[in-house]
Structure 1
Amino acid sequence: MKKWITFDLDGTLMQNPFDAWIFPEVETLLSEELKYSCDAKKRLFHAHQQMLRNEQIVAAYDWDDLVRQLIQELGLTREIDIEALVVTHSVEPKVYLLDDTVIPALRRLKEEGYDLAAVTNGYYKYQYPVMKALGLTEWLDVIVTPERTGYAKPNIRMLDSLLSEGELVAHVGDRLDHDVTIANQLGVVSVLIHRDLPEELLGLSPKQRADHIGLGPVLEGLAARENPQLAGMRLPQSYQPNYVIRDLEELFHCLDIKKR
């Protein structure tokens, strides 16, 4: 039976090229044709957020379709291939691993007998080129994506295929609403990775951080960024991680109990 450890990708292991490269290129292409700035990035993000609010989570991450819709709204007829742009921009330093512990940690987990999977709300066609460029495909056995499963985080059905092959030990991610929530709903170890922890939490163990009162403002800030409607509100219990790490090297402190 396999022992899975799963990882979010964007914001957890790697930086994709969308925000810094692809959206600006879309803006340039459309604005040149229109002869004025259409604020494409803002409009695409608004459409994305609206779909998330309407619980169209799988469709919300189809950037090719979102761009097609925007082009139609603007009265244009041109085509922009987002998948092709991802391939073009999947080169360093446009894409990069988020810290130097990523590959060594994945290698060590494999050596210790774990099976590793990426569980991401990004479509395979957008994620694989970045992962390949950064050397992640060598260490991750499976890439679980919304368009392949029909589900997106935090829906636990997204993990059906992995659970049919073994046990999920832990899930690691940077979002409360997607990553911590899906792990907590499944009753597996939820690990929040946050690389900008306040000074008072740095010297603590991952478990101590999760239980420390100083984590409260961190979680509240994350929740408000993910969903502005949660600003100032009491967070749901599903947002409380079991462990908090600042890099993947610290993940091994979260697995010792599970391994024993």
Structure 2
Amino acid sequence: MSNSHIFFGETIGTAILILLGGGVCAAVTLKSSKARNAGWLAITFGWGFAVLTAVYISSSLSGAHLNPAVTVGIAVKTGDWNDVPLYIAGQMLGAMIGAALVWVAYYGQFQAHMDDNELAPPLGPDSGPAGPVLGVFSTGPEVRNPVQNLATEIIGTAVLVLAVLTQGLTPGLALSGTGALITALVVVSIGLSLGGPTGYAINPARDLGPRIVHSLLPLRNKGGSDWGYAWIPVVGPLVGAVLAGGLYRLAFA
């Protein structure tokens, strides 16, 4: 596949992933949303369907990595690192575009949420490590313990990447509709089983790109972007990807 196919495929696919995944977080979180308080099941299945849709759309162009951890895991498996920067560039751009589109789609709900009297008085642009709508854009821990939080992201991502890598062992499964469905269901499973502690970023672009957008958007009383935590959903998934790639080479190659 050409460089342009890789870049545009990853940009479009990751934008769709974040638009739909961030969209379900906005739907559940924001005031004046019909889905407000729908709960964790809605979020986990929403993200799973987001993965399914994004993979269907972009797989013919770029192979639908949509995640720097997946890209790194595949590079560890194959030993080919040539296109890794191109994949990650497309993923980061797509993640930022998708997060901005969530803001556009839920503009009125963001305004209603941030103007609420319960939120507005104590908050400002630098009011703390995590603002009241940061969870629409990026992840955060329920218990702030860097070692545990990092370990959770490593474990969850290793499961995801190993599931992606082993699809190639079944003839005709990789990049097929069935393969996309399996990946989506794995994401749902990780969310249900391992998402509770940190919100299961399991994707550096999914977390970092929207966090950057959160820091730039003109949202009143949005609070901080929690940059002190931001390294964990980047480093953890990359470590998990390397471990999954190494395990694949050790056990399956």
Regarding TM over 0.5, the answer is: no
TM range (shorter): under 0.3
TM-score, normalised relative to structure 1 = 0.26
Q: Which has the larger radius of gyration?
A: 1
More strand by share: 1
TM-score, normalised relative to structure 2 = 0.27
More helix by share: 2
